[in-house]
Amino acid sequence: MSVDLSAKSLAQWFSDPEQHKCGYCKSSSGSMSFGMLTEELTVEDYKDLIDRGWRRSGKYCYKPIMNETCCPQYAIRCDTTQFTLNKSHKKIMKKFNKFLNDGVFNKNTYTHQQDESTIQMPGFNKVSTIIDLYQEITTEEGNLNNITYNEVKDTDGDKHLAQTSIDNGTKKSNAFADSINTSSLPIYNKKGLKEGTGADPTRPPCKKAKLLRLEKKKDKLSLKGEQLPLAPKSNGTEKSLRQFLEDVQPSFKHKLKLKLISTTRGEEWKQVKDVEFELYFKYQSIVHNDPPERWTVRNFERFLVSSPLKHKPFPNGIDGPGYGSFHQQYWIDDKLIAVGVIDILPGCLSSVYFFYDPDYRDLTLGTYGSLREIQLVLDLQNKIPNFKYYYMGFYIHSCPKMRYKGKLNPSYLLCPETYTWFKIDKCVPKLDISKYSRLNEDSRVVDTNSGTVDEVNKIMVVYGHKLMYMRDFLRVCEDQKDGFNNLVKQVGKKSALNIVFWVCSS
């Protein structure tokens, strides 16, 4: 048969689990995960992977070993069709719009939020050998050729490898890291945000400014023998998310502009990559207090720019950015203040990372960015009816700085055993008792996406530049059987049969 690799996902599977330092509880070796390097992924395959608890960091995909890792990381998503704003969300949007109006910050309102993507996985720095395959099968124009598979006879004595016809070619080099001059970047003050000592227990809690103003007005009126008028009754209609976000006037001092840019297509990205890196450099050095050796263009590119996702237009000629990886930029006047790294996938938007100018941290930009991304989901939903979920990465119940994710209501957590979703308020009591929990209470429910032996045998593998089915590969490399049986369990039958897995022959 003939296999067109240009239409397939290609990944290098690492059968051995990763054990490394945890970025949350600081355990020296308590964090456990599986990983694979993905040279290319279709948006459909990556959507299936995140619904199995996977997550990408650049081109490296990882999945926590939930019942072994020190801090279990549960996939979390919000159903935007039922999304409701809380008081805190409204306050953040009003504060942001007030700044656009007068340019004045409300100080001392910053709350640090931790994102799982700030923790680099050890496999992130692994060198992929998939590139060797691409050097063999890529044409000078950069298009993949078909690989012809000569199926071996299914006999016990036949252990020869299936032969393939592979054309020589070249692979385009990525010169991004060489194109940015870092010598002129400023050295920022590396002082991190200091932890406070908390409220003084001997003193009563502070009253909110709004309440103080109300009491002051009430006292003045009482001296005149008057009373505060009753508040007018609500007409029962709530302002929408869009109405809060767009409650701005032409007369405002500052203007906000959003730009959605594909990092893999067109010239627009090349024009802004320098200013993005400078912003990332400043954010990592001040907010996360990263050491200087991590402030590199190469890490920025591998972590936040490189993506395995193949861009794909929306179906049926629908206008829009299409599926793939994007940077949503936030500009105030002519200054870039924040960037949201996102993946637009079938049925959902997945938030990868968010970084911002620390000078604007009093605007609570992390939460503001989440609200803007939810609005983007709602906008796309008007064009694609089944586009409704907002994926927020991982939720760690034992990490207080991640609790904010659960406040986007309604949020759901992924059961690590059945891969079905459950409302977070139903899960919290279980996680209060044990950090690892099967969230599905019905013991009869099983993982319906696990593979049978026959299905495992149909997985496609490239080994020694030769394409073969798994059954033929395991005849040659019997010691790999356990590792690839576990692969199907981790990625699921559907993804395992769609992805071509590259195995290093050394």
Question: How far apart, in whole angstroms, are the C-alpha atoms of residue 48 and residue 39?
Answer: 17
For CA atoms 394, 400, 404, 410, the dihedral sign is positive
Amino acid at 110: Y
Which tokens go with 71?
Answer: 């801090």
| Residue linked to tokens 């799982």 | 116
What is the residue range of 90's domain? 2-186+240-503
Least confident of 22-31, 199-208, 245-254: 199-208
Q: How many domains does the chain have?
A: 1
Q: What is the pTM of this model?
A: 0.81
Question: How far apart, in whole angstroms, are the C-alpha atoms of residue 318 and residue 497?
Answer: 29
Give the number of other CB atoms < 10 A from CB of residue 222: 11
Q: What is the pLDDT of residues 239-256, one digit of tens each?
A: 999 999 999 999 999 999
What is the mean predicted confidence (pLDDT) over 134-154? 40
User: Is residue 423 within 8 Å of residue 76, measured between CB atoms?
Assistant: no
The pLDDT of residue 145: 40
Distance of CA 309 to the CA centre of its chain: 13
- The CA R_g of the chain, rounded to the nearest whole Å, is 26
Domain-located, residue 202 = no
DSSP E strand boundaries for 127-278 = 146-149, 164-165, 256-262
Domain-located, residue 222 = no
> Binning pLDDT at 50, 70 and 90, where does residue 111 land?
low
Give how far Cα 434 sits from Cα of 71, 72, 398, Å. Answer: 11, 10, 10
Which tokens go with 235?
Answer: 């007409």
Domain-located, residue 224 = no
419-450: b or e for each residue (b if 16 or more CB lie within 10 Å)? bebbebeebeebbeeebebbbbeeeeeeeebe
Domain-located, residue 55 = yes
Of 162 and 434, the structure prediction assigns the larger pLDDT to: 434
**pLDDT at 400 > cutoff 50:** yes
Bridge-based pairing state of the strands 411-414 and 74-79:
antiparallel
Amino acid at 273: K
The pLDDT of residue 43: 98
Give how far Cα 427 sits from Cα of 46, 71, 338, 440, Å. Answer: 25, 16, 33, 9
**pLDDT at 409 > cutoff 50:** yes
What is the mean predicted confidence (pLDDT) over 359-370? 96
Strand order in the sheet with 146-149: 2-4, 146-149, 164-165
Amino acid at 109: T
**pLDDT at 157 > cutoff 60:** no
The pLDDT of residue 146: 46
> Binning pLDDT at 50, 70 and 90, where does residue 270 land?
confident
Domain-located, residue 219 = no
| 331 beta partners | 257, 336
Domain-located, residue 210 = no
| 327 beta partners | 261, 341
Of 346 and 125, the structure prediction assigns the larger pLDDT to: 346
Question: How far apart, in whole angstroms, are the C-alpha atoms of residue 506 and residue 491?
Answer: 24
Rounded to the nearest 10°, the torsion over CA 142, 340, 337, 278 is -40
Domain-located, residue 233 = no
User: Is residue 504 within 8 Å of residue 473, measured between CB atoms?
Assistant: no
User: Is residue 95 within 8 Å of residue 106, measured between CB atoms?
Assistant: yes
The pLDDT of residue 486: 85
What is the mean predicted confidence (pLDDT) over 447-457? 86
For CA atoms 256, 261, 266, 267, the dihedral sign is positive
Of 397 and 26, the structure prediction assigns the larger pLDDT to: 397
The pLDDT of residue 229: 61
Domain-located, residue 220 = no
What is the mean predicted confidence (pLDDT) over 280-293? 87
